[in-house]
Homo-oligomer: A and B are copies of this chain.
Amino acid sequence: MTPRQAPDLPPTAAADLPAKPKRVRLVPEVRRQQILDAALIEFGALGFTAASISKIAARAGTSKANLYVHFANKDEIFESLLKVLLVPTNSIWRPMQPGQDMQASIDAYVDELFGGLTPQSMAIMRLLIAESHRIPALANRWYEQTIVPTKVEQQQHIDAYVAAGQLRKTPLSDYFGFAMAPVLYAAIMQMVFGGQIAESESHKAKETLRKLLHMMLPAVAAS
């Protein structure tokens, strides 16, 4: 894990190109995507208000005015950005694969969960936490249409395993979504403290989650 929010952002693309290609005309979708890419970096590092249109434009390699050709205003850029980001879900949590032995499958899943804590996914989390009030409808829609179905599907898998006697019934098997809590916890530690502290706290949270999940294993307990 890298340090938390570091406002020493990667330099603008424009910085690399002193000879600026005058007036490149792009199809709207391409331009829009360039702008959103730039916006993610800036918003993610600085938050909505502290991020500036100038910087986004510079990073996107175009002019401020051109942002307004593609988006109505700053809010719309933000909203479009999150609309894109929230669609695919950083949908990491897939249930264990049947082929593997069960414990290995759990271990892999735990690794996958915590492995999803990339700088980018954390930037998105921070944006959601700090600025979701700007996009309440979007956030709720994301919850209803992405989070809930994922959780439901996941829970169905677990329930099926439990019914089949392949997993024992524990509080975690009853509400498997609980597994997100330690992941979020690790993310927050990273955002707030960074460095050593985050590493240590994340590790403990992860291992405890692993052991709790192992308690769902049928035969004899684990690690």
The yes or no answer to A50 lying at the interface (CB within 8 A) is yes
- Residues in B with CB closer than 8 Å to A49 are 46-47, 49-50
A6, A130, A170, A205 — which one has the most chain B CB atoms within 10 A of its CB? Answer: A130
The yes or no answer to A188 lying at the interface (CB within 8 A) is yes
Interface residue tally for chain A (C-beta within 8 Å):
46
Q: Which of B4, B140, B208 contacts A175 (CB 8 A)?
A: B208
The yes or no answer to A185 lying at the interface (CB within 8 A) is yes
Say whether A4 contacts B185, CB under 8 Å. no
Interface string of A34-57 (1 = CB under 8 A from B): 000000000000111110000000
Q: How many copies does the complex hold?
A: 4
- Residues in B with CB closer than 8 Å to A133 are 4-7
Apart from A174-B211, A178-B209, A181-B184, what 5 extra A-B contacts exist at CB < 8 Å?
Answer: A132-B191, A132-B192, A143-B193, A172-B212, A180-B185
Contact surface of A with B, Cβ cutoff 8 Å: 4-7, 46-50, 126, 128-130, 132-133, 136, 139-140, 143, 170-172, 174-175, 177-178, 180-182, 184-185, 188, 191-194, 197, 201, 204-205, 207-209, 211-212, 215
